[in-house]
Amino acid sequence: MSIAPLDHQDAPTPNGNGTASSSAADDAGLVQLKQQRDMLLEEASQEPDPVHTGEAKKETQIIAIYGKGGIGKSFTLANLSYMMAQQGKRVLLIGCDPKSDTTSLLFGGRSCPTIIATSSEKRLAGDEVTISDVCFLRDGVFAMELGGPEVGRGCGGRGIIHGFELLEKLGFHEWGFDYVLLDFLGDVVCGGFGLPIARDMCQKVIVVGSNDLQSLYVANNVCSAVEYFRKLGGNVGVAGLVVNKDDGTGEAAAFAEAVGIPVLSAIPQHEDIRRKSANYEIVGRPGGQWAPMFEELAMQVATAPPLRPTPLSHDQLLDLFKGDAVGRDVVLTPATQADMRGGVFVEHKTLEVVYDGV
């Protein structure tokens, strides 16, 4: 709630010596401030909505997928969205990464025009962006890329915000999909990439990770962001973790158990998957070798409730790994001025004048 500034008309007007008029105005101002204070106190005392642990109830499930760059979000989403579409679901896949590579696998390696770039081109030409300019189909999957600025020429997070503003103008909230899948960078420190969590734009979040420290570090950051906005009254929860390139060592599963989220799927580190993905082939086709895995993942994504995670401290995260794997036996040795200068450092007396007794 905002407190309206006093208007010039509200300022006290002197009457004679100004005392009586000013006193009355002061009393009225104090009453107004007290009322506003009481309203703010009442608003602040309201508890946030309880944590939602049931199945998401909105007609369209909007799900944001986060993970470290290169961990396999695009691979997971391309195959997941394809499988969902073959199951008769209406699915929209939106790439929210400046690299604009979310839909490459889906479209056989081809890149589709991004919303940001198309908007700039249309604006220069004096034209309006239409949905046909930015949204494309393959075997029932609707897909688009938000895009972002060129390297060194702008803020990627701000580009994401601008992209969603354009989607709203195109009727985003009126579209009829069963699922909208958002592919986001794991760097939720930036407000743009944390948009779905911060503004309750999605019902739940899914993190993609592997059995390595860096991907689980990012997954833990996502859980921290969700927990932070929960404390502020947000409603987004984490539905679970997809373990990609699973080598069976178990660190990702241990992480999921520690933060209180389920493992939705464990995609194995298999040469057939690697080779086909490198050739831009969809492996999540009905009837294929890997179809049961993506059929199960589709069911888990649809039904997993959004949960409130318990993020780990950095030391707790390190404890998931063997000490020699993360350098836990390393001792932090403080550096000296002599070390920094590559030799002997002679400390000179300060020239500061100290006045005793002042």
Return the structure tokens found at 315. Answer: 């030391």
pLDDT of res. 62: 93
Which helix (H) or strand (E) is 255 found in, with range? Answer: helix 251-259
Q: Higher pLDDT residue, 84 or 116?
A: 84
Determine which one of 89, 99, 178, 212 is catalytic. Answer: 99
Residue 99 bears catalytic tag? yes
Which is catalytic among the residues 68, 204, 245, 276? 68
Q: Which 8-state DSSP code applies to residue 224?
A: H
68 flagged as catalytic: yes
Query: What are the residues whose beta carbons fall under 8 Å from the beta carbon of 124, sequence distance 6 or more?
Result: none
Would you state the pLDDT for residue 242?
97
Q: Domains of the chain: which residue ranges?
A: 61-318
- pLDDT tens string 202-233: 899 999 999 999 999 999 999 999 999 899 88
> How do residues 58-95 score in pLDDT, each as one tens digit?
479 999 999 988 899 999 999 999 999 999 999 999 98
Under DSSP, the state recorded for 304 is P
Catalytic annotation, pick one of 101, 133, 187, 319: 187
CA–centroid distance for 64 within its chain: 7
What pLDDT is recorded for position 116?
A: 86
Average pLDDT over residues 26-37: 68
Annotation marks residue 231 as catalytic: no
What would the pLDDT profile of 319-329 be if each residue is shown by its tens digit? 898 766 556 67
Q: What CA–CA distance (Å, rounded) separates 211 from 252?
A: 5
User: In which band, very low, low, confident or very high, does the pLDDT at 353 lie, cut at 50, 70 and 90?
Assistant: confident
* Mean pLDDT to the nearest integer, 116-124: 89
Catalytic annotation on 247?
Answer: no
pTM: 0.75
- Matching CATH number, 61-318, of 3.40.640.10, 3.40.50.300, 3.30.230.10, 3.40.50.12160: 3.40.50.300
